[in-house]
């Protein structure tokens, strides 16, 4: 079942706080025309930001990669203002930031002078209870572009992959490139083989997940070995546990994987995943 989402009560758009139905962007905005923009989502537990520095650092990296000159850290005050204005100071929430290259007549060529479009808003999100969930998923070919490290608003391939999973009754679509798992359509991906945690190395094929990095740190604290190496689909017979991570997904174990209408993985256990979840809850709730 698809989650129902509501519009926020207010949004910040280019220097002003307005109601969503009063927020207007030009039809010639490059994020609308080309998907030429960057976005970021930061979680707030009980009104307190978690890994704020890391989220803004990733936003800055992505803006730099597409050569948009904005200081991501200048948005920090606005993020807390969004939380305050929507009355989420003591609630679980998230702040969405979107930066478009800006408005210009449609052309692949970017004008030398162009003013960016900045959108920001806070919204409530359920962050409790993730440790009680398990997901059944599918695995399909990774057909996305080769700059998955950039958190671009051009998410059509991800949306199509996720819709394929939902239409078939699954929670997520794990993507496979030349036989090797990369990540999910909206999550990072971890495997446990013989007590060792495996995850795809950082680079252009995956997003540098903030929760992914936190899980690696937790594993280090727990003396659990982590290997940043891609796992081949044929290796699933050796895999004991699989879990996915994400900003609002947090950490969810995978109970089964279906590939080409055949179940190719069934979880053997979840003990290591549970240990990681327990530490994550303590750290995120502070």
- The DSSP line for 195-259 is TEEEEPPSSTTS---HHHHHHHHHHHHTT--EEE-PPBGGGGGGEEEEEEEETTTEEEEEEEEEE
Per-residue model confidence (pLDDT) at position 49: 98
Pairwise CA distance, residues 103 & 123, whole Å: 26
- pLDDT of 8 higher than 80: yes
- pLDDT of 112 higher than 90: no
- In this prediction, residues 84-102 reach a mean pLDDT of 98
- In this prediction, residues 12-17 reach a mean pLDDT of 98
Per-residue model confidence (pLDDT) at position 31: 97
> Cα 201 vs. chain centroid, distance in angstroms?
16
| 8-state DSSP, 4 | P
Per-residue model confidence (pLDDT) at position 78: 99
User: Where do we find the tokens 């050569």?
Assistant: 67
Architecture of domain 11-124: 2-Layer Sandwich (3.30)
Number of neighbours of residue 284 by Cβ within 10 angstroms: 18
| Cβ atoms of 269 and 254 closer than 8 Å | no
| Cβ atoms of 187 and 253 closer than 8 Å | no
- In this prediction, residues 226-234 reach a mean pLDDT of 98
CA distances from 95 to 67, 83, 105, 137, 209 (A): 23, 8, 30, 27, 16
Per-residue model confidence (pLDDT) at position 3: 66
- In this prediction, residues 33-49 reach a mean pLDDT of 98
- pLDDT of 196 higher than 90: yes
pLDDT band (50, 70, 90) for residue 6: confident
Q: What is the mean pLDDT of the chain?
A: 97
Per-residue model confidence (pLDDT) at position 286: 79
Residue count of the chain, please give it.
286
Pairwise CA distance, residues 166 & 185, whole Å: 11
| Cβ atoms of 99 and 118 closer than 8 Å | yes
Question: Domain spans of the chain?
Answer: 11-124, 130-285
At the top level of CATH, which class does the domain 130-285 belong to? alpha beta
57 belongs to the catalytic site: no
Of 179 and 7, the structure prediction assigns the larger pLDDT to: 179
User: Is residue 173 helix, strand or coil?
Assistant: strand
Give every CB contact of residue 7 below 8 A, 6+ residues apart in sequence: 20
pLDDT band (50, 70, 90) for residue 2: low
Per-residue model confidence (pLDDT) at position 118: 99
Pairwise CA distance, residues 172 & 140, whole Å: 10
Provide DSSP, 72-139.
GGGGHHHHHHHHHHTT-TTS-EEEEEEEE--B-SS-SSPPSS---EEEEEEEE---TTGGG--EEEEE
| 8-state DSSP, 71 | -
| Catalytic-labelled residue, pool 48, 151, 205, 282 | 151
pLDDT band (50, 70, 90) for residue 56: very high
- pLDDT of 1 higher than 70: no
Question: CA geometry: angle at 133 spanning 150 and 276, to 5°?
Answer: 70
- pLDDT of 241 higher than 80: yes
pLDDT tens per residue across span 209-218: 999 999 999 9
- In this prediction, residues 142-159 reach a mean pLDDT of 98
pLDDT band (50, 70, 90) for residue 5: confident
Number of neighbours of residue 163 by Cβ within 10 angstroms: 13
User: Where do we find the tokens 């220097």?
Assistant: 15
């Amino acid at each position: 079942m698809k989650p129902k989402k509501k519009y926020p009560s207010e949004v910040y758009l280019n220097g002003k706080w307005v109601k969503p139905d009063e927020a207007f962007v030009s039809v010639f905005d490059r994020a609308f025309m080309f998907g030429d923009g960057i976005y970021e989502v930061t979680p707030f537990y009980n009104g307190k930001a978690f890994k704020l520095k890391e989220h803004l650092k990733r936003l800055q990296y992505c803006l730099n990669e597409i050569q948009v000159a904005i200081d991501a850290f200048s948005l920090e005050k606005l993020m807390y203002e969004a939380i305050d204005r929507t009355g989420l100071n003591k609630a679980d929430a998230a702040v969405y930031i979107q930066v478009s290259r800006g408005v210009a007549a449609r052309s692949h060529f970017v004008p030398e002078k162009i003013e960016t479009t900045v959108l920001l808003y806070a919204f409530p999100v359920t962050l409790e209870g993730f440790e009680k969930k398990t997901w059944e998923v599918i695995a399909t070919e990774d057909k996305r572009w080769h700059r998955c490290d950039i958190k671009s608003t051009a998410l059509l391939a991800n949306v199509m992959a996720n819709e394929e999973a939902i239409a078939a009754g699954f929670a997520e679509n794990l993507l496979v490139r030349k036989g090797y798992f990369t990540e999910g359509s909206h999550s990072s991906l971890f495997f446990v083989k013989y007590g060792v945690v495996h995850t795809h190395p950082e680079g252009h094929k995956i997003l540098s997940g903030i929760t992914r990095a936190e899980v690696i740190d937790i594993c280090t604290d727990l003396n659990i070995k982590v290997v940043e190496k891609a796992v081949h689909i044929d290796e699933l017979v050796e895999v004991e546990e699989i879990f996915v991570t994400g900003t609002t997904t947090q950490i969810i174990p995978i109970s089964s994987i279906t590939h080409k209408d055949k179940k190719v993985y069934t979880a053997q256990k979840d003990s290591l995943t549970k240990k990681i979840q327990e530490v994550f809850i303590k750290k995120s709730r502070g």
